Structure 1
Amino acid sequence: MTTTPSNKASMRQLPLSDYELHRAAFMKKMPNNSIALFPAASELTRSNDTEYAFCQNKNFFYLSGFNEPDALLVLLKNAQGQCQSTLFSLPKDALHEIWQGRRVGQIKAVQDYGVDESFAVAEITTLLPDYLDGKSQVFFGFSDHGFAAQVFDWLKQVKGNIRQGAKTPQHLTDADPIVAELRLVKTKNELALMRQANYISGLAHQRAMQKCQVGQFEYQIEAEILHEFARHGARDPAYASIVAGGDNANILHYTNNNDVLKNKELLLIDAGAELAGYAADITRTFPVNGQFSSEQKAIYQLVLDAKNLAINAIKPGMSFAKLNTLTNAFLTQGLVDLGILAGDLSELISDNKVKDYFIHGLGHWLGLDVHDVGDYQINTDREQLRAFEVGMVMTIEPGIYIPLSDHNVDEKWRGIGVRIEDNIAVTENGFENLTVNSPQTIEDIEALMKA
């Protein structure tokens, strides 16, 4: 099933109600008389007094929708099970706002973000030890070592007041796996947002195909992609775009994007827009001159068929482990048919020889992060056994990579790198392909580039 979002119905941000639902879902996991702490990200200095573009802590954003640095979200559940949310954020400051831009402030934080109360960050030092005092359990992300050290400092302050009747929490719980599990299944509104991010990204991939010419630099095509993202409301890419001509496609995370595009070579583009924090992740591969060679066609069609085979098998209860078994066997047979692999088919499959040329995983979770959080339930054989559920979103991205340096194959195959990647949501009856408007058949690509 595929759905194309209309311009009228397109979504640019999640409604406040979704963030309230996210907080409520987390607080439901909290026992009575507990507290959860979620820090915002801080700005990072790029050079001297300039900063990198700000990227919010994703767990904090998932629970708050608040996009300023140095904030803190506190979720409280009292002994009777009543819940409260408190946001500490930077205060309004006329001088700072002249130089650096407007801040939300405490009044609008309550009005616009639905928290119960808000205080300036300067009050954290005073109020946090009081919030922790007497609580039985504290939730925070163990992976953030800097923030964990801060939590221990606050707990130390509580412990220092034991003689005055303070009680230190006895149980510390990692909040990261709980939030990851919640983030793994998307709401209806999150899916609508990701559908729109995919649609914008598809327009950008179309533009790249239309603008591509022999002799251009890879970064010029990257600029066309970023232009199309912004033109349709997605100011930022979800990750550093990969624009890899020729043999550069055989470098999986190639982001230099500074080589000249050559005649008779392929161009692999892995690029997706970020919209209201949510990522698209799409890869397309096409000929620089607009016409596939016979060898390029053969590899491309094999990868495309493998992608479609995997996607069509997606439904609730399916897993990456099962999809990998299906796809790896199909690609192995295809590589044997092309003479790239040789030997007994069953032995080649058993020995996983396809991994000589399909050198990464079949896909990954997608959401607020391009490689999103969520348990894959990996066993000792590194199989991802997690059964798919309705509302999960993932990428499916098979590829075949044959670098120029590979002298084990006929010269005609060398330098070809092909990856094709779509974004898929699991539905009650199967799947929805969110990647609907980016050409992928050989005929459609050549027709678009010829137009």
Structure 2
Amino acid sequence: MPLDAPPRPSPIDLDEYRRRRRRLIDALPTDAAVLLPGASLVIRSRDSEFPFRQDSDFHYLTGFPEPDALLVLLPGRAEGECVLFCQDRDPAMETWTGRRLGAEGAVRVHGVDQAFENAERDAHLLELLEGRVTLYLPLGDASALRLAERLRGELLTRPCQAVQPPLLAFADVTPMLHEQRLVKSDAELALLRHAGEISAHAHCRAMRACRPGLAEYQLQAELEHEFRWRGGSGPAYASIVAGGRNAGILHYIDNREPLCDGDLVLIDAGAEFDLYAGDITRTFPVNGRFSPAQRALYEVVLEAQERAIAAVRPGTTLKALHRGVVRDLAAGLVALDILGDDGEETPESIVARRFYPHGTSHWLGLDVHDVGDYRQDGEPRCLTPGMVITIEPGLYMPDDEDLPAAFRGIGIRIEDDVAVTAEGCEVLTRAAPKQVADIEALLDEK
């Protein structure tokens, strides 16, 4: 690892995982149970799989890293309220695919109350769920629903020895769980800060490497090398490296075109570290110098972003931040004589319809577009300390003849990760330069 790498944060400890499970259990009726499956391996082609990545909800409650696991939470159970099912120990398979923790390791390493290997799962599940009236599970997960339906059918047909009636109702566990995930702990913020630092170093590396004649995928290779070199597991999402007019495609991931002298390149890429996501966008000139038109548009987007970040504090809303960004972008385009008020449509509505078709912010955490409702009691949700968001205004100028020729085909986005604090906010990705002078100075280093 490079000598200038930031110190690696401590992993989330077992007590925090226990507190998360406790909070969820305490929100449940005493006659309920939770059934939450982990992720399974996914076939990439024939007999090879994609690299395994644990389900975010399952990881949030357990930290358990193996596929085909199942978490059962049982409020009030005397023998232990947290039961985990996991892969069987299998020396022959472990020779091929790596060591497995097994039931004993799950209890010892991950602090669950009780664990069984999957070979024993069906028999124990029926015992654990007998007498439970409501089963909470992710209702959007087809495999979880199939398992729950099968278990309900078996419980309904077996002699019931419990005082309470057998399992009859299903409920969605995700609203309660996602509400918990929305506000990050100090340990989570440390991991997000580290993911942001790794991501920022990668963007700096890509800037230094950039020159006309390279292909977009070569900058992608520079980014993703740095993600892994600094201890990340790889990209948190498909990296976007969009040169020239490709920047007008918001989720452009082909990354196959050459980088041309005189164009800008937009990079939207972030590292994943311990399953937490970084998410940065920077836009810079391929040849190292902004043209006057590029710089003018860039400064409009940058000013809008900086004003939005300065407005992040407890009590504000993402809707208010977005409205401010649209207002600032419109004012900037009016000042450049790209827009005017024709009396039929305001500059703000033209910007939102034509030049800036996406939102300004989204939640960030274990998922790059993290979970949690954006509205509360029917109103835009107020920010509170511990929430983490992106601030990512952009302008995407089409090749339309009614626009000044110098501005056509330019796409610009600037994005940072921002944690809400009691006093305001902390920018987690500030190590990636975004001022014009700083970008051009870094590009001169190559």
Q: Does 1:124 align with 2:121?
A: yes
Gaps of 5+ in 1: 1-5
Question: Of residues 214, 217, 220 in structure 1, which corresponds to 2:218?
Answer: 220
What is the total number of aligned residue pairs between the two structures? 441
TM-score relative to the length of structure 2:
0.95
Instruction: Give matches, 1:66-215, under 5 Å.
Output: 66-78=64-76, 84-162=81-159, 167-215=165-213
Corresponding residue of 2:278: 280
1:432 partnered with 2:426: yes
1:412 Cα deviation from its structure 2 partner: 1.1
State which of 408, 413, 416 in structure 1 corresponds to 2:407: 413
Q: Distance in 1 between matches of 2:196 and 2:6?
A: 16
Match of 1:334 among 324, 332, 335: 332
* Amino-acid identity (%): 43
The residue type equivalent to 2:393 in the other structure is P
Query: In the aligned structure 1, how far is the partner of 2:176 from the partner of 2:340?
Result: 47
Residue of structure 2 in register with 1:290 after alignment: 288
2:400 counterpart of 1:400: no
SS class of match (1:199): helix
User: How many angstroms apart in 1 are the aligned matches of 2:426 and 2:343?
Assistant: 33
Q: Taking structure 1 as reference, are residues 210 and 379 closer, same or farther at Cα in structure 2, changes over 3 Å only? A: farther
Q: Deviation at 1:379?
A: 9.5
Corresponding position of 1:42: 40
The answer to whether residue 389 in structure 2 is matched with residue 391 in structure 1 is no
TM-score, normalized by length of structure 1?
Answer: 0.94
Partner AA of 1:110 in structure 2: V
Query: What's the offset of the Cα at 1:346?
Result: 10
Counterpart-to-counterpart distance in 1, 2:343 and 2:297: 19
Q: C-alpha distance in 2, partners of 1:153/1:90?
A: 21
Residue by residue over 1:274-305, the C-alpha shift from the partner in whole angstroms, topping out at 9 and shown as x without a partner, is 00000010000000000000000011111011
Give the distance between the partners of 1:223 and 1:128, measured in 2 at CA.
46
User: CA offsets per residue over residues 78-124 of structure 1, 9 Å max, x none?
Assistant: 278x9611110001111101111211111111111010111001212
The separation in 1 between residues aligned to 2:54 and 2:111, in whole angstroms, is 18
Task: Give RMSD over aligned pairs.
Answer: 1.9
Pairing 1:245-264 to 2, within 5 Å after superposition: 245-264=243-262
Question: Compared with structure 1, are the counterparts of its residues 8 and 360 closer, same or farther at alpha carbon in structure 2 (3 Å cutoff)?
Answer: closer
Q: Is 1:323 aligned with 2:321? A: yes
Distance 1:346 1:162, change over 3 A: farther
Contact 2:130/2:160, CA 8 A, preserved across alignment:
no
The match for 2:241 among 240, 243, 263 is 243
Structure 1's 163 and 171: CA in aligned 2 closer, same or farther, altered over 3 A? Answer: closer
C-alpha offsets along residues 316-339 of structure 1, whole Å, 9 cap, x if unaligned? 110011111211111111111112
CA drift of 1:51 comes to: 0.5
Distance in 1 between the 2:158 and 2:294 partners? 72
| Residue identity in the other structure for 2:328 | F
| Secondary structure of the corresponding residue to residue 131 of structure 2 | coil
Cα offset, 1:355, TM superposition: 3.0
1:449 maps to 443
Alpha-carbon shift at residue 349 of structure 1 (Å): 4.8
Q: Please state whether the residue corresponding to 2:35 is helix, strand or coil.
A: strand
Partner letter of residue 71 of structure 2? L
Which protein, 1 or 2, shows the higher relative CO under an 8 Å CA cutoff with sep ≥ 6? Answer: 1
- Equivalent AA in structure 1 for residue 82 of structure 2: S
1:162-212 residue CA offsets vs partner (Å, 9 max, x unmatched): 466683134422101111100000000000010011001100000000010
After superposition, the Cα gap between the structure-2 partners of 1:377 and 1:349, relative to the gap in structure 1 and judged at 3 Å, is farther
Other structure's SS at 1:370 match: coil
Deviation digits for residues 341-371 of structure 1 (CA, Å, limit 9, x no counterpart): 2215895156454431011100100000000
2:160 and 2:6 map into 1 onto residues whose CA distance is 63
Q: What CA distance in whole angstroms lies between the structure 2 residues aligned with 1:302 and 1:378?
A: 32
